[in-house]
């Protein structure tokens, strides 16, 4: 069983930055992929970024490449999403998710464990 706790959301102006964190707890946490997804009102849950726990390989959605950076602090069991150059269209509830794999997935259905969401609002 894996528990994920996301935090760091808030209100920011266009062009601003936010850093989201996802703390993972498990009896044994090895060879997992951790992903960030977001869901705006009335829309589907979309992939944002993912990282592998061991090798730190990364994958990004085209819409966030060059603006967002995903990283892992293995010592703190934390995956962070540094978000910059934020736009109103980045407004959504952001979720972190985890699944046991050595690879990277961008489909929500491929992730087994989910944390609660954290709201990010970007004002224009």
> What is the longest distance spanned by two Cα atoms in the chain?
43
Q: Is the pLDDT of residue 120 over 90?
A: yes
Residue 111 DSSP code = -
Please give the pLDDT value at position 2: 92
Mean pLDDT for 84-108 is: 96
> Which runs of E-coded beta strand occur in the chain?
2-7, 10-13, 18-26, 32-39, 45-52, 58-60, 68-73, 78-83, 92-100, 113-114, 118-123
CA distance linking residue 97 with residue 22, whole number of Å: 9
CA distance linking residue 112 with residue 67, whole number of Å: 27
Band of pLDDT at residue 109, cut at 50, 70 and 90: very high
Band of pLDDT at residue 1, cut at 50, 70 and 90: confident
For 10-64, the pLDDT digits (tens) are 999 999 999 999 999 987 778 899 999 999 999 999 999 999 999 999 999 999 9
For 63-86, the pLDDT digits (tens) are 999 999 999 999 999 999 999 999
Please give the pLDDT value at position 26: 80
Cβ(29)–Cβ(6) below 8 Å: no
Other Cβ atoms less than 10 A from the Cβ of 122: the count is 20
Tokens for 27? Answer: 């009896």
Name, in order, each residue with C-beta under 8 angstroms of 78's C-beta and a sequence gap of 6 or more: 21, 22, 23, 24, 72
């Amino acid at each position: 069983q894996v528990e994920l706790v996301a935090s760091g959301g808030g209100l920011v102006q266009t062009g601003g930055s936010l850093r989201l964190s996802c703390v993972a707890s498990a009896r044994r946490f090895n060879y997992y992929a951790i992903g960030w997804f977001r869901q705006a009102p009335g829309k589907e849950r979309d992939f944002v970024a993912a990282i592998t726990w061991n090798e730190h390989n990364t994958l990004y959605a085209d819409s966030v490449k060059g603006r967002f950076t995903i990283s892992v602090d293995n010592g703190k069991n934390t995956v962070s999403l540094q978000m910059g150059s934020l736009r109103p269209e980045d407004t959504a509830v952001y979720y972190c998710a985890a699944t046991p794999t050595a690879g990277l997935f961008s489909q929500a259905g491929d992730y087994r464990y989910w944390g609660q969401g954290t709201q990010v609002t970007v004002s224009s």
